[in-house]
C-alpha cells in the first residue's frame, strides 16, 4: 500500500488500520524502532501519535511530514495468529530553487556566450523549462532551448536581450518560476531616416538621427566640425523610446540661410565604441515651368 505525504509544515499523514479493540497494538518503523504502544507514544518525536476515531481503529498520525519520515511502517497486533500490517510511506516534495542565479539582470557583451542558471530541487526531481517573454504587444511567449538547469546562448546578439523565465515542475504543486532580464551590451549603431533633405531658404527644418546602443550612447550633432548646442538658431532634443535601447536625436534649425546648407554629422559613442553618419541638407529652388510652342513652317520647293 502506498501513502503519499506532502512536504509542508501543516500536512499530516494518517496511516490507518483496523484492529480489534481488546488486543495490544504496536507501531514500528523500518528500523524496528517502536513508535507507539497502544495509544501511548514511546519515542520523543511529538509529531507522532495514535488516533482512535472508532474503537477498532489504531491510526498512526504524523504531523509536519519531513522527507526523513519516508519508509516502511508496520502495525503489529498480538492476536492469534499474530497480525501485521505494513505501509510504505513515500514523501514527495514540491520544487524549490536552491540558488539565486536567475534573479535580477544578466549583462553580457555582444558576441559572447551567456549562461542562464536555475537550480531547483524536489522529489521527484523537477523538470526545468525555459521561455522568453514577448518583446512587443501581440507576440506570444516563446519556448526556447531544451529542458535543463542551464540555458546557454552562444554568440549573443543585441536581439537576444529581453526577459527569460525558467519554470520548475515535478507534478507536485505548486510549480515555481523565476525571471532574469538579459541586457546585451553593444556599440552604437546609427540609422538616418533621410540621408539627403531639401528645404527652402527662410524655412525651418528638422533633421533626425536614430541611435541604438547599450549602454546608452552620448549623442551630438556637428556642422562643419563644430558641435551644435541649443541656441536661437538650433534646438536639439533627445527622445528615448520606452523599454528599448533606441533614442532619436532631433535637430531643429530655424530660418534657414544659405550658410546653413551642407553636411551634418550625427555622432554616437559609449564605452564600447563610437560611430557617425553624415546627412546632407541642400537648398531647394523654385522652378518656373513655361510652355514651349513649336511652329512648323511649310514652304514651296
Q: How far apart are CA 154 and CA 254, in angstroms?
A: 49
CATH for 192-283 (2.60.120.10, 3.40.470.10, 3.30.750.80, 2.60.40.10):
2.60.40.10
- CATH topology agreement for domains 25-89 and 94-186: yes
Q: What is the pLDDT of residue 100?
A: 66
CATH class of the region 25-89: mainly beta
Per-domain residue ranges of the chain: 25-89, 94-186, 192-283
Residue 4 has pLDDT above 60, yes or no: no
Superfamily of domain 94-186: Immunoglobulins (2.60.40.10)
Q: What is the pLDDT of residue 12?
A: 54
Q: pLDDT band for 90, please (50, 70, 90 cuts).
A: confident
Top-confidence residue, 158 or 20: 158
The alpha carbon of residue 218 and the mean position of all alpha carbons in its chain are separated, in whole angstroms, by: 28
CB neighbour class for 90 (10 Å; exposed up to 12, middle 13-18, buried from 19): exposed
Burial readout 45-73 (b: 16 or more C-beta within 10 A, e: otherwise): eeebbbeeeeeeebbbebeebeeebbeeb
Residue 143 has pLDDT above 70, yes or no: yes
Q: Which residues contact 239 (CB under 8 A, 6 or more apart)?
A: 247, 248, 250
CB neighbour class for 139 (10 Å; exposed up to 12, middle 13-18, buried from 19): exposed
Give the global pTM.
Answer: 0.72
Q: C-alpha grid cell for residue 102? A: 536567475
| Closest residue by Cα to residue 95 from 126, 73, 64 | 126
Amino acid at each position: 500500500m502506498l501513502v503519499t505525504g506532502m512536504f509542508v509544515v501543516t500536512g499530516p499523514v494518517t496511516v490507518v488500520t483496523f484492529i480489534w479493540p481488546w488486543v495490544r497494538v504496536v507501531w514500528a518503523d523500518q528500523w524496528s524502532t517502536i513508535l507507539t504502544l497502544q495509544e501511548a507514544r514511546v519515542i520523543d518525536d511529538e509529531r507522532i501519535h495514535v488516533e482512535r476515531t472508532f474503537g477498532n481503529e489504531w491510526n498512526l498520525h504524523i504531523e509536519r511530514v519531513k522527507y526523513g519520515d519516508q519508509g516502511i511502517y508496520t502495525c503489529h497486533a498480538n492476536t492469534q495468529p499474530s497480525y501485521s500490517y505494513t505501509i510504505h510511506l513515500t514523501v514527495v516534495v514540491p520544487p524549490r530553487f536552491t540558488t539565486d542565479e536567475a534573479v535580477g539582470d544578466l549583462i553580457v557583451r555582444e558576441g559572447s556566450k551567456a549562461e542562464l542558471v536555475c537550480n531547483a530541487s524536489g522529489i521527484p526531481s523537477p523538470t526545468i523549462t525555459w521561455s522568453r517573454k514577448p518583446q512587443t504587444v501581440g507576440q506570444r511567449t516563446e519556448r526556447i532551448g531544451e529542458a535543463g538547469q542551464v540555458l546557454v546562448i552562444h554568440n549573443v546578439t543585441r536581439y537576444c536581450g529581453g526577459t527569460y523565465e525558467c519554470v520548475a515542475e515535478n507534478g507536485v504543486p505548486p510549480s515555481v518560476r523565476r525571471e532574469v532580464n538579459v541586457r546585451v551590451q553593444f556599440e552604437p549603431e546609427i540609422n538616418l531616416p533621410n540621408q539627403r533633405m531639401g528645404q527652402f531658404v527662410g524655412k525651418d527644418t528638422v533633421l533626425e538621427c536614430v541611435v541604438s546602443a547599450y549602454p546608452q550612447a552620448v549623442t551630438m550633432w556637428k556642422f562643419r566640425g563644430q558641435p551644435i548646442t541649443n541656441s536661437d538658431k538650433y534646438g536639439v532634443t533627445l527622445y528615448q523610446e520606452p523599454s528599448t535601447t533606441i533614442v532619436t536625436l532631433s535637430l531643429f534649425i530655424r530660418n534657414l540661410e544659405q550658410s546653413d546648407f551642407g553636411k551634418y554629422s550625427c555622432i554616437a559613442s559609449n564605452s564600447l565604441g563610437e560611430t557617425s553618419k553624415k546627412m546632407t541638407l541642400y537648398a531647394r529652388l523654385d522652378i518656373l515651368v513655361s510652355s514651349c510652342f513649336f511652329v512648323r513652317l511649310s514652304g514651296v520647293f
